[in-house]
Structures are given as structure tokens and as C-alpha cells.
């Protein structure tokens, strides 16, 4: 997307809908055949397609995913409320099949055990229990000063330049440093974990060539072994940090490795994409940026609206434990379902003027979007993500009030269904003489 014309597009309506797509042609064929979420133009703008799907075929089968796709808010919530019929067990299954070489690489890592996102019932409660106190709002709030210090230090490193790639220089490193501070881990290991985390996400949520599969699997295994070494170091010298706090739990070493790897990946990617997506939408309409600079109390509501409007976690997977019917569609037992949170968040039956961003939509009401999931599977780190993002925008808006998007740049969205964000966002500002 070229950001030069975005502000004018917003005056005309939702910028995601300015692509000139031929919706009529979709209606001549099955919706599922036209669903291509990993390629242009749906990678940049999935929302136009989802709007059509909600109206024409809200639950459809996708050959690309070999799964059913669920697009309406009410259907998604119904499924999330019934884990007995709709299991999380396949949440981390690949898009397509792993090659034999990829499987051999994965066998050099730790055996797969269920994670927070692909477990249900007692197993899910068991895995979640050791982390509930750590991620409780009162505990998370104690990190406010350290998060602000990290944000200010990152800005110090580029504020005199008058320009920056705000993704690589701020939005990515901020949540990574927060997670590693929480873990009690040296910050010099961040570059490796950033690379490993990116490839781990691709391994589970992108359509990859055999060569790409092997590369991503190798990096996933590298991350597992690095985390295992960190666990052993904490056993030898425990401190007041997250890893040390779970050593006395009943979690096995396999549990801890898989869970801690998952928290690193989810804990930094979703937050970094939230910051990036929010910056893009707020800077595209300068009056929004001016509003939060003048009134920082608007920031929490603006972040909630960003989570609805352009969710950093656009989908999750469920599998039917029996034959079920949803909205008149019969789904066979063991059917894989992609619940498209980002589509449900744009559902016109749930939100007025759903296709447009409204900075004050959640200012005086509780946010009911699906960006953090729903019910027992609501993201355990959501309080931390919102705190990090709030502080990030408080610091950015106070120190760079004349921040703006650099014109004529191409934004490259990451081709996965588990995260939505882009790899770069150039910004600029006036430097005081």
C-alpha cells in the first residue's frame, strides 16, 4: 500500500476498500476458490474479501487452508464458548504438510507437548496456572517504569536523526526487551530470538516451500535449545524473574521449553504489530495523532479500536470433536476451522460503521473485540501488551509530537494467518536546531 494517498482514501471511506477490486467476479465462483490470504491483494487488504464472505457465504471451505473459514462475529463467539465441541488441539498445525526433512529437523528439538493455545480443559488450566500470578494486572503494573525507561532509551538512539524505521528501531525491540527483562535474560541475545521467533511463526502459519520449511524448523529448534539452556542457568542460580518463578511448578522440562518459547514469540510479535498497526492508522489521519498528543487519555481507547480495526492476531484454529451445525452449515467431525477474528471484528452486525476506524469507539465502553480471543483462551499476556503499547504511545506522542509517515513507501505485510503486521514503517519529524 502506498501511504501517500491514504489520508484522502480515508476521507472517501475505509482505506482497505480503495483497491478497486471486482467483487462481482467473486460471486460467479465459490468464495473458497477465491480466498488467497497469502498473496496480493488479499494480503494487504483482507477486509474487502471478508466483508463479501460475511454477506455471501460466512462459513466456507478453503482449498488453500484445507479447512473451513468462519467470518461472522456471532459464529466465532459461539465456537469459542464451546471447547467441548470445538477443540484447540490443532491450533499450531502447519499450513499444508511438513516434508520428511522438516520432520527430521523437528525431531532434534524437544518433543511436542500441548501449549496454552492448543490445549483445553484440565490440561489448559494446568499449563496456565503457573503464569496467572505473573501476568495479573497488579504485577504487570509494576513494570511501568522499566517499560517507560526502555521506550525512552530506544527513542534516544534515533531522535536526533529526524527519521527512523519505527518498526525495526522501536516497535520490535520494545516488547522483546520487556519480555527478556521479565525472563531475566541478557539483552544481547535479542537479535537471535527475533530471527528465530519470526521463522517459528512462519513455520506454523504460512505456506512455505520445502527449503523454507527446513530453515524455519532449524530456527525453531535453535530457539528451543536456547530456552532450555536458560532454564538450566536459572536452576543453578534462580533470581526474581519469570523463568525462576515457574521452576517449582509441576511443569515438565518439555512443558517449560514449549511454553516459554511460545510466550517469547506471542509476547513480542503481537505487541510489536499492535504498535506498528496503531501508528500507521493514527499517523495516516494527522488529526488523530494530534488528538492523542494533546489528550493522552485517548490512547487506551485508540489502542482498543486498533485491535478491532486491524488486529495483530487475525485468526485462530479450532477442530470439531463431532459433527456440528453452525448457522445452517453442517461441519463433519474432525473438521479444521479458521476463526477469522479480524473479520468478526469488522462484522456490521456487531459494530456500527465497522469498516472505518473511530478513535473514540471504545472510550466509554468495554472493548468486546476478538483480538485477544475470548473466554478461557483469552490471551494471558493481554494486560502486558496493552500496558506496553499505552506507554509506547505516551512516550512517542510526548517526545515526537510532529511525527509523520514518510510518503511514497511500500509497506510489506508478513504473509501469515497468525499475525498481521508489516516489516517496515518509515517515519520522520522535525529536529530542533
Write out the three cell numbers for 39. 498473496
| Domain residue ranges in the chain | 58-428
SS3 at position 415: coil
pLDDT for the residue 16: 54
CB 207 within 8 A of CB 38: yes
Spatial CA neighbour of 235 closest among 258, 254, 223, 253? 253
Helix then strand count (H, E) for the chain reads 19, 10
Poorest-pLDDT segment among 126-135, 182-191, 265-274, 372-381: 182-191
Q: Which CATH number describes the domain made up of 58-428?
A: 1.10.630.10
Strands (E), 24-151: 59-62, 67-70, 86-87
List pLDDT tens digits, range 381-413: 899 999 999 999 999 999 999 999 999 998 899
| Mean of per-residue pLDDT scores for the chain | 89
- Phi/psi at 94 (nearest 5 deg)? -75, 165
**17, pLDDT greater than 90:** no
pLDDT of residue 353: 97
Question: How far is 209 from 300, CA to CA, in rounded Å?
Answer: 40
Q: Is the pLDDT of residue 4 over 70?
A: no
pLDDT at 5: 35
With cell 509517515, the residue in question is 405
Whole-structure pTM value: 0.87
Spatial neighbors of 327 by CB under 8 A, at least 6 apart, are: 58, 59, 72, 75
Amino acid at each position: 500500500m502506498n501511504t501517500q494517498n491514504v489520508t484522502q482514501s480515508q476521507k472517501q471511506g475505509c482505506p482497505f476498500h480503495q483497491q478497486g477490486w471486482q467483487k462481482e467476479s467473486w460471486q460467479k465462483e465459490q468464495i473458497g476458490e477465491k480466498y488467497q490470504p497469502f498473496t496480493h491483494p488479499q494480503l494487504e487488504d483482507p477486509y474487502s474479501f471478508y466483508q463479501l464472505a460475511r454477506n455471501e457465504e460466512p462459513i466456507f471451505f478453503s482449498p488453500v487452508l484445507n479447512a473451513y473459514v468462519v467470518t461472522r462475529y456471532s459464529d466465532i463467539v459461539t465456537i469459542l464458548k464451546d471447547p467441548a465441541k470445538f477443540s484447540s488441539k490443532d491450533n499450531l498445525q502447519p499450513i499444508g504438510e511438513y516434508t520428511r526433512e522438516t520432520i527430521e529437523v523437528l525431531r532434534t528439538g524437544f518433543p511436542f507437548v500441548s501449549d496454552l493455545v492448543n490445549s483445553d480443559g484440565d490440561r489448559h488450566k494446568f499449563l496456565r496456572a503457573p503464569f496467572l500470578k505473573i501476568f495479573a494486572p497488579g504485577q504487570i503494573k509494576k513494570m511501568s517504569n522499566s517499560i517507560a525507561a526502555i521506550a525512552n532509551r530506544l527513542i534516544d538512539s534515533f531522535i536526533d536523526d529526524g527519521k527512523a524505521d519505527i518498526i525495526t528501531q522501536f516497535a520490535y525491540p520494545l516488547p522483546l526487551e520487556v519480555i527478556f527483562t521479565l525472563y531475566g535474560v541478557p539483552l544481547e541475545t535479542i537479535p537471535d530470538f527475533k530471527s528465530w521467533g519470526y521463522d517459528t511463526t512462519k513455520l506454523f502459519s504460512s505456506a512455505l516451500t520445502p527449503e523454507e520449511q527446513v530453515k524455519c524448523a532449524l530456527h525453531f529448534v535453535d530457539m528451543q535449545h536456547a530456552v532450555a539452556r536458560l532454564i538450566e542457568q536459572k536452576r543453578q542460580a534462580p533470581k526474581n524473574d519469570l523463568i525462576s518463578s515457574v521452576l517449582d511448578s509441576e511443569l515438565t522440562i518439555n512443558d517449560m521449553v514449549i511454553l516459554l518459547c511460545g510466550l517469547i514469540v506471542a509476547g513480542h510479535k503481537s505487541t510489536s504489530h499492535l504498535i506498528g498497526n496503531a501508528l500507521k492508522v493514527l499517523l495516516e489521519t494527522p488529526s488523530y495523532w494530534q488528538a492523542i498528543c494533546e489528550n493522552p487519555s485517548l490512547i487506551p481507547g485508540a489502542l482498543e479500536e486498533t485491535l478491532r480495526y486491524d488486529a495483530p492476531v487475525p485468526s485462530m484454529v479450532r477442530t470439531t470433536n463431532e459433527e456440528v451445525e453452525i448457522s445452517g452449515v453442517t461441519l463433519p467431525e474432525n473438521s479444521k476451522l479458521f476463526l477469522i477474528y479480524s473479520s468478526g471484528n469488522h462484522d456490521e452486525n456487531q459494530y456500527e460503521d465497522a469498516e472505518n476506524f473511530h478513535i473514540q469507539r471504545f472510550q466509554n465502553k468495554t472493548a468486546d473485540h476478538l483480538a485477544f480471543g475470548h473466554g478461557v483462551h483469552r490471551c494471558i499476556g493481554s494486560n502486558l501488551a496493552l500496558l506496553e503499547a499505552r506507554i509506547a504511545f505516551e512516550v512517542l506522542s510526548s517526545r515526537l509530537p510532529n511525527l509523520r509517515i514518510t510518503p511514497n513507501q511500500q509497506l510489506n505485510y508478513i504473509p501469515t494467518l497468525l499475525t498481521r503486521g508489516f516489516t517496515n514503517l518509515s517515519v520522520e519529524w522535525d529536529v530542533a536546531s
